[in-house]
Chain A
Amino acid sequence: MVQSIFHHAIQIDEDKCVGCIHCMRVCPTEAIRIKKGKAVITQERCIDCGQCMRACPAKAFYIKQNDLKMLQDFQYRVALFPAVMVGQFPDNISDDMIYQAMTDLGFTHLMEVEQPIRLLIDLTKEYLGKEEISKPCISAFCPAVVRLIQVKYPTLTDNILRVKAPHELAAHFIRQTLMNQGIPKEKIGIFYITPCAAKIAAVKSPIDDMPSVVDGIISMSDFYSKVRQSIRREVTIDTKDQRENLTREGILWSTSRGESSRFGNRAIAIDGIHSVVKFLDRLENDEVRGFDFLEMRACDQSCAGGILLTGNRFTTTERLEQRSAKYPGFTEKALPTGLDEEALTSCLKIDEIESHNVFKLDDDITRAMEKVSKAQRIICFLPGIDCGACGAPNCQALAEDMVQGNAKMSDCVFLQQRWQNEHKIESGKAFRNIEKRWGAGRFNADCNKRGRRNEGF
């Protein structure tokens, strides 16, 4: 199966996981279960949206990234970063100061992802003008949303825009620009500073299974701290020429309405994964009609609210708005000469988007029907409290886990309680069942229990 090789960026540090249910509750695809007192992610369901990471009180979720030491492998080192990186700094730290600090960290070239946005706007407009496409067209900008549609809304894969996200374009753009200057390909190292986990997963496993266009991934949260430490108050270099292709639209692209304000007569911008889920549900029922373009982003306030951002999402958006006013519009700005626009454009096209129904209970329809019926019968016995004490996010999910052989009736603490009352199960056995799920000793009194005292949960 294709999805088994899909690269996931989000990992759980078992030593830090305290075995609560915050992550399990917020996961939009019900991908998390608690087993033996630790959160476990069902890989094929995970869309890397990062809700779990945001909800975790123990900071047990982390993302896989490359070490900055890897920079030494390349003679020319490009930091590829979205404009939100700049947006999160306080007002008294100027663009020049940020660029200077990044250069001090060892990069030879700095490239804001949204610089060549014009090519993307043109290509998208061309696509939207086609008669045969399914409307409304859903942007492919946010990889978590694309992945969500692939796993949960297979009927809507046809609606996804067949134009890739800006980071792909930017990577090809900078590589081509440097190669035009006579620099050999193998000497160029492109490092993507990512605002979220979904972009990592997308860079490592692009929608169309093409090889990754970047050489390394760096978490924006770690990078921000490093840049902050390297900020020099006295600015010594003028870095304006490194931003010569930046435009107003580019700077605002990853903020909410950045795309929707550009496309179609009727366009909507939706941010926040749970709002996206609700809207897609309606769209799938054909309840929403007449729209041309949907901008959908997994994070509140779009990328300004990315899980790996340190800055506040509202102040970040405001700084980007202020900053954008100082730049020309994309129509006033021609792309640099000597670029092979055709090659860049072709790198942006997506041919096919597969769907993987991860919610099927069985490949065989007869067996799947038996399982659905069985789950319906099981539901009758569950209390419907959706407490999560069984290690599944709700009673329905527990019933589904049971028919898949991944859970037992006795996982429900209320059902066990009833059985004890009816003398169907001995209380020692019932307690051991709970300990199996949540870990031995979990229910002993412990004033130093992590996260329970003086840690301000």
Chain B
Amino acid sequence: MIELKFHISGGDFDTAGTASSETKKILKQLNIDSKVIKRTVVALYEGEVNIAAHAWKGEVAVTVKDHQIVALLKDEGPGIADINMAMLEGFSTASPKVREMGFGAGMGLPNMKKNADLLEVESTPGVGTTVRMSFDF
């Protein structure tokens, strides 16, 4: 089993992308199918940007075992008031400041769902959000 851990600070768009890039490098070393790598990396990057855009701080844990990649993205932040709404394409609660940076198009969670084989979102408003994604190979 391989475990990778990354920390993301809220508002830090500069380091968002580190987890997906580092994970990508390891997945290539494992010779995992390139289509699976692509799906994992795209979903993971969306998740990282979500944490940077919305939360105060967060942690990304990626584990690879038994023909499955699992990514756990846990943040402390405002949480998601209505998860069903957040899963809709184009729905976004991103601040104008975040939108100015080119993010907040309301494609984050929908894109993660599209790329992951399984996506689970748990959230407590005012406390934080946990996203669990898995990718089979």
Binding site for B on A (CB under 8 A): 152, 154-155, 281-282, 284-287, 355, 357, 359-363, 365, 368-369, 371-373, 376, 400
Contact = CB atoms under 8 A, between A and B. Distances in A.
A361 B29 contact: yes
Nearest to A375: B29
Given A155-B37, A281-B21, A369-B64, A361 B30 contact: yes
A372 B35 CA distance: 20
B2 interface: yes
Per DSSP, chain B at the interface is helix
Nearest to A358: B28
Contacts of A357: 28, 31, 34
Contact of B31 (A152, A285, A365, A400): A365
25 contacts: A154-B28, A155-B35, A284-B41, A285-B20, A285-B21, A285-B24, A285-B41, A285-B42, A286-B41, A359-B25, A360-B28, A360-B31, A361-B29, A363-B31, A365-B31, A368-B29, A368-B31, A369-B2, A369-B64, A371-B29, A372-B29, A373-B1, A373-B2, A376-B2, A400-B29
B17 interface: yes
Given A368-B30, A372-B2, A373-B2, 17 more contacts: A154-B34, A155-B41, A285-B20, A285-B21, A285-B41, A286-B41, A287-B17, A355-B34, A359-B25, A360-B29, A360-B31, A361-B29, A369-B1, A369-B30, A369-B64, A372-B26, A373-B1
B91 interface: no
B38 interface: yes
A45 to B, nearest CB: 13
B37 A362 contact: no
A379 to B, nearest CB: 12
Nearest to B65: A369
Interface string B3-17: 000000000000001
Given A155-B35, A155-B37, A372-B2, A365 B30 contact: yes
B83 to A, nearest CB: 23
B34 A285 contact: no
Contacts, number: 63
B45 interface: yes
B127 interface: no
B32 interface: yes
B28 A286 contact: no
Contact of B28 (A359, A362, A363): A359
Contacts of A371: 29
Given A155-B37, A281-B21, A369-B64, A287 B45 contact: yes
B26 A155 contact: no
B29 A359 contact: yes
B29 A284 contact: no
B37 A372 contact: no
Contacts of A287: 17, 45
Contacts of B26: 372
B30 A372 contact: yes
A286 B30 contact: no
Contacts of A285: 17, 20-21, 24, 41-42, 45
Contacts of B30: 360-361, 365, 368-369, 372
Interface string B61-75: 000110100000000
A369 B65 CA distance: 8
